[in-house]
């Protein structure tokens, strides 16, 4: 079975990295706070802040360097006339097929980070499940959103 | 606009008293155990009780006065509320299911409670009319579920010829079904909790009770007692089943299926056949050796049967009769016998999955060697694992997907292509190593969406199912 043809927008890589960086900086700030506390209050254990720094480094490695890259590589989607095909996952690979006339509605959404990179994610809801395609560029997302809405309106199949 | 039968005032009063009974009993108990018997001996108690009773009657009466309903060809209107007025109009097309339920009081007066369910928010999705005369309830049901114009109240026999009773359960089958229902485990647990509660009241507590009886009676008597306990639990589970499923009747009327059941409280559930999303055939461990199974359906929208998540449409059926039964009820569902099963290379994975608990228990075995008796279950686990592997499979035909699987009980799930909301496959690193894949279908059900999965099918099967669904008409 071939992978779905479309991949996420290249900007998504940056968005994922920024998202990772946010988590990383939160950890760093926390660790620094702990360090300061342990300097002022001598009874407060120093190892807490050091393990905080260690954890931040780990987060940096995983969420900023490794994962965004792998995500880009392993996410795939394809929107055909009659169905939506999504594949994702690194250790557990998941493949999802949603017949178009089962789609109930489609949500387009973006937070501040995605907006900065002109990206948006799409949430597809059927009567029985939810599925997400993260980080498409604005134009594509809007087009996908419209295509799906249009196709959904065409089919009037009831449950 | 019409009102309910005045009996509702009594029913309403009983319901109110029921909801206050616990605090009242508590109140009386406390006043008994208290230092002085003030509340009981004083006339105050009587006075307060009478006042409450009076208020209850007034409230129940007002509820009856303000509850009005009207059924037309297109919709049902209900106005209700003593302080907060509520008006609700439900269009006929929005109605999902209608059930009738009559308790002992209602049955004495030939009345029933009619509940209408619509799709949508679960709490707000149902309305009920209490204390309806039975024939009027049937008329309302007919009017609201029918596509054509409604028949007049007095001509209710008109459509009788479309009524077809499909299954009426007889006593033998009922007891057989109760005997093999497998709910004995639940009853045993409940019974145990009850016994433990009673023993806790004994002066020396639970532990000493067991120690004493052990030293006094010896191991053989303990075993006999245990067997008696299992026996009693089994009897109770049968009685419980009989109470729930006595007079089980399935009737088909045009596109509606009516399921009636219950010994004391009679329940009638009407479901639209077109809203059935999947059929589940379950062969419980106790039923499988005798070639018996039960059939349930998953229906979209509304809360279906409240006691069970699925709606049982046949409590006990011989396996070779299933096809005929499905044909009679649905006409477009068949039970296939040819499945494509999980490949041989998947067998080890089934075995490993079932052996994991034993591996995890190793530290316990090391520190408490006595617990090694758990290992006695190992052969059972292996047998189950082999059977799980043997029965993991699927079958495709033009518009139907049939899944076969076993966790403990064997299940066969039949669903139409048009009812599959989404299809997903999952493969872990280890599964990919053996070219295996887990298939999962998402379907619509009440009260919430459901998914069924079959683990460790071949990747080539994954492709088959994928192309089958993607070839949309």
Cα(B289)–Cα(B10) distance, rounded to whole angstroms? 50
Predicted confidence at residue A61, as pLDDT, reads 92
pLDDT at A152: 63
**Burial (CB count <10 Å: 0-12, 13-18, 19+), residue B416:** middle
Contact A99 B275 (CB under 8 A): no
Which pLDDT value is given to residue B36? 54
How many angstroms away from the CA of A102 is the closest CA of chain B? 6
Does any CB of chain B come closer than 8 Å to the CB of residue A156? no
Q: Which of B425, B427, B444 sits opposite A128 (nearest CB)?
A: B444
Name the band, by pLDDT with cuts 50, 70 and 90, for residue B30. low
Q: Greater confidence, A111 or B201?
A: A111
Any idea which of A52-66, B146-160, B253-267, B394-408 has the lowest mean pLDDT? B146-160
Contact A79, B470 (CB under 8 A): no
Angstrom distance (rounded) from CA B166 to CA B135: 22
Chain B CB contacts of A82 below 8 Å? 470, 472
Q: Which of residues 61-90 of A touch B (CB under 8 A)?
A: 80, 82-83, 85, 89
Window A:117-136, CB contacts with B under 8 Å = 126-129, 131
C-alpha R_g of chain B: 28
Single out the residue of B93, B64, B61 nearest to residue B76, CA to CA.
B93
A98 touches B: beta carbon within 8 Å: yes
| pTM of the predicted structure, to 2 decimals | 0.72
What is the distance in angstroms between the Cα of B443 and the nearest Cα belonging to chain A?
5
Q: 3-state DSSP call for residue B96?
A: strand
Between the CA of residue B49 and those of B17, B18, B19, B40, B55, what are the distances in Å? 11, 14, 15, 11, 10
Q: What is the DSSP letter of B291?
A: T
Nearest CA in chain A to B445: A128
For B121-179, how does the pLDDT look when each residue is reduced to its tens digit (9 = 90+)?
444 567 888 888 888 888 888 888 776 444 444 444 444 446 677 777 888 888 888 88
Beta strands across the sheet bearing A103-109: A103-109, A119-126, A130-137
For the segment B185-221, what is each residue's pLDDT rounded down to a tens digit? Answer: 888 888 888 887 777 766 666 667 667 767 777 777 7
| Shortest CA gap A100–chain B (Å) | 9
Angstroms from A125 CA to nearest CA on chain B: 10
Cβ proximity of B452 and B441 under 8 Å? yes
- Using a CB-CB cut-off of 8 Å, the residues of chain B touching A80 are 470
- Would you say the ipTM is above 0.95? no
Q: In a mutagenesis test of the A interface, which of B119, B415, B421, B429 is the best target, namely the one with the most A β-carbons within 10 Å?
A: B421
Chain B residues whose C-beta sits inside 8 Å of any chain A C-beta: 275, 277, 300-301, 418-429, 432, 442-445, 449-451, 459, 462-463, 466, 469-470, 472
Q: Using the beta-carbon criterion (under 8 Å), do B277 and A96 form an inter-chain contact?
A: no
Q: Does the CB of A91 have a partner CB in chain B at under 8 Å? A: yes
With contacts defined as CB-CB under 8 Å, which chain B residues touch A128? 421-422, 442-445, 449-451
User: Which structure tokens are listed for B393?
Assistant: 């499979």
Q: For the CA atoms of B244, B245, B248, B250, what is the dihedral angle to 10 degrees?
A: 90
| Mean pLDDT calculated for residue range A71-77 | 90
pLDDT confidence of B303, banded at 50, 70, 90? Answer: low
Which helix (H) or strand (E) covers residue A84, if one does?
Answer: strand A83-88
Closest to B383 measured CA to CA, from B355, B344, B411, B342: B355
Instruction: Pick the most confident of B29-38, B75-84, B89-98, B343-352.
Output: B343-352
Contact yes or no for B428 and A92 at CB 8 A: yes
pLDDT band at B446 (very low <50, low <70, confident <90, very high): low
Of the candidates B300, B422, B470, the beta carbon closest to that of A102 is on B422
Identify the weakest region by mean pLDDT among A112-116, B6-10, B41-45. B41-45
């Amino acid at each position: 079975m071939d992978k779905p043809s479309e991949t996420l927008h290249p900007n998504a890589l940056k968005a994922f990295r920024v998202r990772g960086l946010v988590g990383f900086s939160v950890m760093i700030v926390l660790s620094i706070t702990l360090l300061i506390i342990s300097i002022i209050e001598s009874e407060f254990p120093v190892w807490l802040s050091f393990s905080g720094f260690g954890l931040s480094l780990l987060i940096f490695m995983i969420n900023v360097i490794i994962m965004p890259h792998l995500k880009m590589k392993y996410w795939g989607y394809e929107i055909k006339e009659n169905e939506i095909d999504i594949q994702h996952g690194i250790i557990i690979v998941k493949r999802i097929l949603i017949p178009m006339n089962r789609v109930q509605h489609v949500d387009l959404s973006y937070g501040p980070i995605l907006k900065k990179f002109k990206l948006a994610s799409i949430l597809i809801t059927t009567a029985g499940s939810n599925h997400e395609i993260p980080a498409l560029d604005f134009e594509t997302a809007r087009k996908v959103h419209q295509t799906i809405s249009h196709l959904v309106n065409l089919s009037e199949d009831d449950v | 606009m019409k009102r309910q039968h005045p009996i509702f005032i009594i029913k309403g009063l009983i319901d109110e008293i029921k909801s206050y009974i616990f605090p009242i009993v508590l109140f009386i108990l406390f006043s008994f155990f208290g230092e002085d018997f003030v509340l009981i001996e004083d006339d105050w108690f009587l006075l307060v009780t009478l006042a409450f009773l009076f208020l209850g009657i007034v409230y129940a009466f007002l509820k009856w006065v303000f509850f009005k309903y009207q059924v037309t060809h297109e919709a049902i209107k209900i106005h209700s509320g003593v302080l907060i007025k509520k008006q609700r109009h439900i269009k006929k097309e929005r109605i999902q299911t209608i059930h009738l339920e009559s308790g002992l009081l209602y049955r004495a007066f030939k009345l029933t409670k009619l509940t209408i369910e619509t799709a949508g928010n679960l709490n707000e999705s149902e309305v009920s009319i209490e204390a309806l005369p039975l024939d009027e309830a049937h008329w309302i049901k007919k009017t609201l579920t029918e596509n054509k114009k409604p028949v007049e109240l007095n001509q209710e026999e008109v459509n009788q010829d479309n009524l077809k009773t499909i299954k009426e359960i007889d006593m033998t089958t009922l007891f057989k079904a109760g005997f093999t229902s497998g709910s004995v485990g639940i009853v045993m647990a409940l019974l145990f909790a009850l016994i433990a509660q009673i023993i806790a009241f004994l002066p020396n507590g639970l532990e000493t009770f067991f120690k004493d009886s052990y030293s006094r009676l010896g191991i053989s008597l303990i075993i006999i007692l245990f067997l008696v306990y299992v026996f009693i639990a089994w009897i109770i589970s049968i009685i419980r089943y009989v109470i729930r499923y006595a007079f089980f009747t399935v009737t088909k009327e045009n596109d509606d299926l009516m399921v009636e059941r219950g010994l004391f409280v009679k329940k009638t559930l009407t479901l639209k056949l077109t809203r059935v999303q999947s059929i589940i055939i379950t062969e419980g461990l106790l039923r499988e050796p005798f070639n018996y199974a039960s059939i349930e359906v998953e229906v979209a929208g509304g809360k279906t049967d409240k006691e069970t998540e699925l709606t049982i449409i046949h409590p006990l059926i011989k396996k070779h009769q299933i096809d005929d039964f499905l044909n009679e009820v649905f006409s477009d569902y068949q039970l296939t016998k040819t499945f494509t099963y999980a490949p041989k290379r998947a067998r080890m994975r089934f075995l490993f999955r079932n052996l994991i608990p034993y591996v995890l228990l190793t530290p316990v075995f090391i520190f408490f060697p006595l617990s090694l008796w758990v290992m006695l279950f190992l052969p059972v686990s292996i047998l189950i694992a082999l059977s799980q592997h043997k029965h993991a499979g699927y079958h495709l035909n033009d518009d139907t997907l049939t899944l076969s699987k076993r966790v403990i009980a064997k299940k066969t799930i039949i669903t139409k292509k048009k009812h599959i909301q989404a299809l997903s496959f999952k493969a872990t690193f280890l599964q990919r190593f053996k070219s295996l894949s887990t298939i999962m279908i998402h379907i619509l059900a009440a009260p919430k969406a459901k998914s069924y999965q079959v683990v460790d099918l071949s990747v080539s099967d994954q492709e088959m199912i994928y192309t089958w669904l993607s070839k949309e008409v």
